[in-house]
Amino acid sequence: MNNIITNLWNISYKGLIHSLMGDWDLAIVEIQNVIELAEKNKINSLDSKIYQTCGEACLEVNLFNEAIAALTTAITDYSNE
């Protein structure tokens, strides 16, 4: 399980770096990889910031449906944080 957590951290870090550099397409790919890996391994402890960053990146490249889905998840699934 620690290996999976380490992989999640590394992938999310790469996604953050891509978003800070304005490379939105790669940021989206890396963030979606984090979400898919977490879901595959039944890890329910992702922070809402992951979904928020995904939504922001999707907005930058005009993927509005994906942005709405990610931001809705950030708001509804994590409203009690």
Condensed to tens digits (0 to 9), the pLDDT of residues 22-64 reads 889 999 999 999 889 888 888 877 888 889 989 999 999 999 9
How far is Cα 16 from Cα 54, in angstroms, rounded to an integer? 10
| Spatial distance between the Cα atoms of 53 and 19, rounded to a whole number of angstroms | 8
Which domains does the chain possess?
2-76 (1.25.40)
Cβ atoms of 28 and 67 closer than 8 Å = no
Amino acid at 25: D
The whole-model pTM stands at: 0.78
Distance CA 42, CA 29 (A): 20
CA distance 79 to 81: 6
